[in-house]
Amino acid sequence: MKRINSFTFITLNGFYKGMDEDITWHRHGGPESEHATEGLGGDGILLFGRKTYEMMSSYWPTPAAMESAPDIAKGMNSAEKIVFSGTLKEAKWNNTRIIKDNIVEEVKKLKENGNKNMTILGSGSILSLFAENGLIDEYQFMIDPVFIGEGATVLKGKMKKLDLKLTKSKVYKSGVILTYYEPF
């Protein structure tokens, strides 16, 4: 059976994005970026909700992305991607397909019959849906040492209690902490 991991950067007060989709508070550079580069070196599938997909697809295929983070841009652009959306008509970013209906059932099939592990990047509504249905095998949180006034929390809605076990962590000189958790 294939695994689903999530990777989300968050603030100390639990937001993964600020108002108007703001993520400028996240420390994208230096050693913290190495984690993203390493994660894109494999043969996994990247999973997105529509909003995150639209944000990512508007940046990573651009010359600015290739200039500022060439290794990450290369990995993002060449990776197989799935976007979950009932409203998106067309996926223009290369190697992307859309799953519109029966999302939970389709993901269960991918876990059972697929040939690649999967990683959810951000995508709060998809992350919440998958967590509610017990589909996530590992949660990775990159915690930035910052508080922001308002934003969106990582898991939302009527979530049931989710007990997690810390399996690994890494502290960066910048104060950013990367944590790995598995459900138990």
The predicted pLDDT at position 41 comes to: 58
The predicted pLDDT at position 27 comes to: 75
Q: Is the pLDDT assigned to residue 30 strictly greater than 80?
A: no
Q: Please give the average per-residue pLDDT across 102-120, as a whole number.
A: 95
Q: Assess contact for 119 and 56: CB atoms under 8 A.
A: no
Task: Work out the number of other CB atoms within 10 angstroms of the CB of residue 101.
Answer: 8
3-state secondary structure 5-53: EEEEEEECCCEEEEHHHCCCCCCCCCHHHHHHHHHCCCCCEEEEEHHHH
Q: Is the pLDDT assigned to residue 38 strictly greater than 80?
A: no
Q: Please give the average per-residue pLDDT across 127-154, as a whole number.
A: 92
The predicted pLDDT at position 144 comes to: 94
Domains of the chain as residue ranges with CATH: 19-117+130-156+163-175 (3.40.430.10)
Q: Please give the average per-residue pLDDT across 114-122, as a whole number.
A: 91
Angle at 122 between CA 117 and CA 128, to 5 degrees: 85
The predicted pLDDT at position 39 comes to: 64
The predicted pLDDT at position 122 comes to: 82
Sort strands 4-11 and 118-121 into parallel, antiparallel or unpaired.
parallel
